[in-house]
């Protein structure tokens, strides 16, 4: 076994690997860039080596710098995590040439599977079912059109070197094929320095289901069931689960056996993932193989009881697998939610800044038998920078069955407090509480179909609205009580909190009576409905559990002007609790109108203006490119939403803009 492992990564996955290494009694070495001096993974490791500036090409991606760190610390093995150098065969080769173990698959397998066209060819000859399409390179837009017509529309145009959802375009006709070919090729050239393109059939409304494989250096290879990762935005996963609610035992076995056949064909060992897309008739097609530990590996660990990082370390040290295929048991259900610093209200655009509050739910076994796990690389006060992946944490829930796991996840999301940056907690909550998700009717089109106009917060139905109104009545009651106690008046009449209130929530007014019942209050609506509310909430608290007629709701509370802001299950509302007389006056107050920004093009995210494509006085047509913004390695093209004339250019190319800073103004 190894004495010292260097983790060539950062963030949550570095912390995850350190945890297992510690368990195995192995000394750990972290590497860090300028931006990560105080990062959690640096604090958790036994040793830490600085490897360069914040920009990853000069630090985490620099093979020379990482090799120097290995040499300086005398590490005898390197775990690459995911991303960065994890699928770089040259890195694995360079380590092995120096007698240092690479905790991953053999470099030849990385090489073969790193290229989508090569891997598709190998898969086909290993008897694995592949997406119908063209297995060769495509040279120009006209050839793309010819091949697309042969395959039949719609088609998917893909970069052979692609990854992370980049370099991929759907085309429904010849024009889109020409355009898609050009933009895929541009994106691939910029992102991967490799512009090779191929085309395959676009499978409509597919499910993304992948198989975890594990092998040793003695020829043993097994599969550890599947993960379903159909909930995606921009072809990137945000919610994963294991098992899949869609697979039957026969399909699971067929996919598992094909995955193992492919792994065998390339002499695979260590942990790896074979990705498939599955159509509504249970036909499955190979997409690609990821030759590394996958982000969503925790859900497999939770249902198999295995520690995949431990298995990878043991395999790299030459040990034999300690289990065979027949020992693999899938137990219960696990779901992972990826908490991202991205704003769901702004089309999931990345958000950066400091985590002014970060309070994850307790990682523990809960009363209903469920279990919460949270993998993270941040603490309260950490900075989410523009240099790296904007993932904050991976929250997992395990339970004996899917409905309990979904409920546990939903409650854990309600308990999770994150402030200071835009994040997708409310969106994850909305998905957990979405009937279609709960029924397991998933597809990669789920988000596009269920949130066609984007996400602007879950809307409470009548029952939930009343619960939130009751909570606002409760917090108001507590605040009123406190105010009376500190006012010091001896006048008994003024020591009683009034009973009649008007609570407004989303323009709807509820008239109610509140009665003090010792340790709870009774909220009586004017139609006679009655809710009993009890809680340990006190003024100033940002989060509490409210028992409402027996049901426990974990709700985030805050002041918002004169109102109570309540966040729960993806809903984000402000309730105003007023006396009937004040409510009458409030009703007569003119509503404040938000400023008119319709004549401005505002910067949708913090970033750098790369180009301004128009000049003052230019007429523009719908869809015409106005400007491009680069943020977090993504190039975002801003287009005209209607015909207009450019009145003024407010930002120059090269300028760094904050969210909502004007870029240009229309007539």
Binding mask 149-168 for ligand ADP (x = CB under 6 A): -------x-----xxxx---
Strand partners, 552: 547
Minimum Å distance from CB 106 to Mg ion?
A: 21
Contact between 299 and 396 (Cβ < 8 Å):
yes
Stretch that binds ligand ADP, among 3-11, 22-30, 554-562, 651-659 (CB under 6 A): 554-562
Pick from Mg ion, ligand ADP, none: which does 182 bind, CB < 5 to 8 A by kind? none
Minimum Å distance from CB 290 to Mg ion?
A: 6
360: contact with ligand ADP by CB under 6 A: no
444: contact with ligand ADP by CB under 6 A: yes
Contact between 546 and 537 (Cβ < 8 Å):
yes
Q: For residue 227, what is the DSSP state?
A: E
Identity of the residue, 216 or 288, whose beta carbon is nearer to ligand ADP in the bound complex: 288
* Nearest residue to 259 (alpha-carbon basis) of 326, 202, 323, 211: 211
200: contact with ligand ADP by CB under 6 A: yes
Provide the Cα torsion 469, 473, 474, 479; round to 10°. 140
**Is 288 annotated as catalytic?**
yes
Please identify which residue in 17, 26, 78, 203 interacts with ligand ADP, judged by CB under 6 A. Answer: 203
CA atoms within 13 A on the CB side of 49: 22
Stretch that binds ligand ADP, among 319-327, 353-361, 459-467, 537-545 (CB under 6 A): 537-545
Strand partners, 47: 29
Crossing angle between the packed helical segments 308-316 and 11-23, to the nearest 10 degrees:
70
**# chain residues binding Mg ion, by CB under 5 A:** 1
Crossing angle between the packed helical segments 141-151 and 174-192, to the nearest 10 degrees:
120
Rounded Cα distance between 171 and 202, Å, is 8
Binding mask 478-517 for ligand ADP (x = CB under 6 A): -x--------------------------------------
Joined tokens for residue 130? 């592949």
Q: In sequence order, what DSSP letters do the residues of 416-455 get, joined into one string?
A: -EEESS--SHHHHHHHHT-HHHHHT---TTHHHHHSTT--
338: contact with ligand ADP by CB under 6 A: no
Contact between 271 and 308 (Cβ < 8 Å):
yes
283: contact with ligand ADP by CB under 6 A: no
287: contact with ligand ADP by CB under 6 A: yes
235: contact with ligand ADP by CB under 6 A: yes
The single residue of 226, 240, 288, 311 carrying the catalytic annotation is: 288
Rounded Cα distance between 529 and 533, Å, is 13
Helix (H, G, I), strand (E, B) or coil at 248: coil
| Site residues (CB under 6 A) for ligand ADP, limited to 111-150 | 131
Minimum Å distance from CB 155 to ligand ADP?
A: 8
Identity of the residue, 163 or 662, whose beta carbon is nearer to ligand ADP in the bound complex: 163
Contact between 369 and 397 (Cβ < 8 Å):
no
Element housing 465 (H / E) = helix 462-487
Contact between 101 and 78 (Cβ < 8 Å):
yes
381: contact with ligand ADP by CB under 6 A: no
Please identify which residue in 53, 141, 539, 662 interacts with ligand ADP, judged by CB under 6 A. Answer: 539
Pick from Mg ion, ligand ADP, none: which does 479 bind, CB < 5 to 8 A by kind? ligand ADP
| Site residues (CB under 6 A) for ligand ADP, limited to 86-115 | none
Rounded Cα distance between 340 and 388, Å, is 12
* Alpha helix positions (H), 45-153: 63-73, 89-97, 107-113, 116-125, 141-151
Stretch that binds Mg ion, among 81-89, 143-151, 268-276, 294-302 (CB under 5 A): 268-276
Identity of the residue, 165 or 654, whose beta carbon is nearer to ligand ADP in the bound complex: 165
Sign of the alpha-carbon torsion through 323, 328, 331, 334: positive
Stretch that binds Mg ion, among 215-223, 270-278, 476-484, 548-556 (CB under 5 A): 270-278
Stretch that binds Mg ion, among 130-138, 273-281, 302-310, 368-376 (CB under 5 A): 273-281
419: contact with ligand ADP by CB under 6 A: no
| Site residues (CB under 6 A) for ligand ADP, limited to 456-475 | 475
Minimum Å distance from CB 419 to ligand ADP?
A: 14
Pick from ligand ADP, Mg ion, none: which does 196 bind, CB < 5 to 8 A by kind? none
Element housing 583 (H / E) = helix 580-588
| Contact positions vs Mg ion (CB under 5 A) | 275
| Contact positions vs ligand ADP (CB under 6 A) | 131, 156, 162-165, 200-203, 206, 208, 232, 235, 275, 277, 287-288, 444, 475-476, 479, 539-541, 557-559, 562-564
- Catalytic residue list: 288
């Amino acid at each position: 076994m190894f004495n010292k492992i260097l983790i060539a990564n950062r963030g949550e996955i570095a912390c995850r690997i350190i945890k297992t290494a510690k368990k195995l009694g192995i000394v750990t070495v972290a590497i860090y860039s300028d931006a990560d001096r105080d990062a959690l993974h640096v604090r958790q490791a036994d040793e830490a080596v600085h490897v360069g500036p914040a920009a990853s090409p000069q630090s985490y991606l620099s093979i020379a710098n990482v090799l120097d760190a290995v040499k300086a610390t005398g590490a005898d093995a390197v775990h690459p995590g995911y991303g960065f150098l994890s699928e770089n065969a040259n890195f694995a080769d360079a380590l092995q040439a120096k007698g240092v173990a690479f905790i991953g698959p053999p470099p030849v397998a990385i090489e073969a599977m790193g290229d989508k066209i090569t891997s598709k060819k190998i898969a086909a000859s290993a008897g694995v079912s592949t997406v119908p399409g063209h297995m060769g390179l495509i040279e120009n837009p006209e050839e793309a059109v010819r091949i697309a017509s042969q395959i039949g529309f719609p088609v998917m145009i893909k970069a052979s070197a692609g990854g992370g959802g980049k370099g991929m375009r759907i085309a429904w006709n010849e024009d889109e094929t020409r355009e898609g070919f050009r933009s895929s090729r541009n994106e691939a050239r910029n992102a991967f320095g490799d512009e090779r393109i191929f085309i395959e059939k676009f499978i409509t409304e597919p499910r993304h289901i992948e198989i975890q494989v594990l092998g040793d250096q003695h020829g043993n290879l097994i599969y550890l069931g599947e993960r379903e990762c159909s909930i995606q935005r921009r072809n990137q996963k945000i919610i994963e689960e294991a098992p899949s609610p869609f697979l039957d035992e026969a399909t699971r076995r067929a996919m598992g056996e094909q995955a193992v056949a492919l792994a065998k064909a390339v002499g695979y060992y260590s942990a790896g993932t074979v990705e498939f897309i599955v159509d509504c008739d249970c036909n499955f097609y190979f997409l690609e193989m990821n030759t590394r530990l996958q982000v969503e590996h925790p859900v497999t660990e939770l249902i198999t009881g295995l520690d995949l990082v431990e298995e990878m370390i043991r395999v790299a040290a030459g040990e034999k697998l300690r289990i065979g295929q027949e020992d693999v048991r899938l137990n219960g259900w696990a779901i992972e939610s990826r908490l991202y610093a991205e704003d769901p209200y702004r089309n999931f655009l990345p958000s950066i800044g400091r985590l002014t509050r970060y309070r994850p739910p307790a990682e523990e076994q809960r009363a209903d038998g469920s279990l919460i796990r949270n993998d993270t690389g941040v603490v309260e006060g950490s900075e989410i920078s523009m240099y790296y992946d904007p993932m904050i944490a991976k929250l997992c829930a395990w339970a004996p069955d899917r409905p309990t796991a979904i409920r546990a996840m939903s409650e854990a999301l309600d308990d999770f407090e994150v402030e200071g940056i835009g994040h997708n907690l409310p969106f994850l909550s909305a998905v957990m509480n979405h009937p279609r998700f709960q029924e397991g009717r998933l597809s990669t089109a789920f988000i596009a179909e269920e949130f066609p106009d984007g996400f602007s917060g879950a809307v409470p139905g009548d029952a939930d609205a009343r619960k939130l109104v009751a909570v606002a009545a409760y917090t108001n009651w507590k605040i009123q009580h406190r105010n009376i106690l500190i006012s010091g008046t001896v006048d008994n009449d003024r020591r009683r909190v009034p009973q009649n209130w008007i609570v407004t929530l989303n323009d709807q007014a509820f008239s109610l009576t509140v009665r003090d019942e010792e340790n709870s209050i009774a909220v009586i609506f004017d139609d006679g409905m009655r809710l009993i509310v009890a809680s340990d909430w006190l003024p100033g608290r940002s989060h509490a559990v409210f028992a409402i007629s027996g049901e426990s709701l974990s709700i985030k509370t805050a002041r918002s002007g004169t109102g109570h802001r309540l966040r729960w299950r993806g809903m984000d509302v402000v309730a105003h609790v007023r006396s009937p007389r004040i409510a009458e006056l409030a009703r007569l107050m003119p509503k404040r109108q938000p400023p008119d920004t319709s004549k401005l093009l505002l910067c949708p995210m913090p970033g750098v203006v790369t180009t301004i494509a128009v000049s003052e006085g230019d007429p523009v047509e719908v869809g015409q490119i106005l400007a491009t913004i680069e943020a977090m390695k993504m190039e975002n093209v801003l287009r005209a939403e209607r015909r207009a004339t450019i009145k003024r250019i407010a930002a120059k190319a090269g300028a760094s803009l904050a969210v909502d800073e004007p870029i240009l103004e229309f007539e």
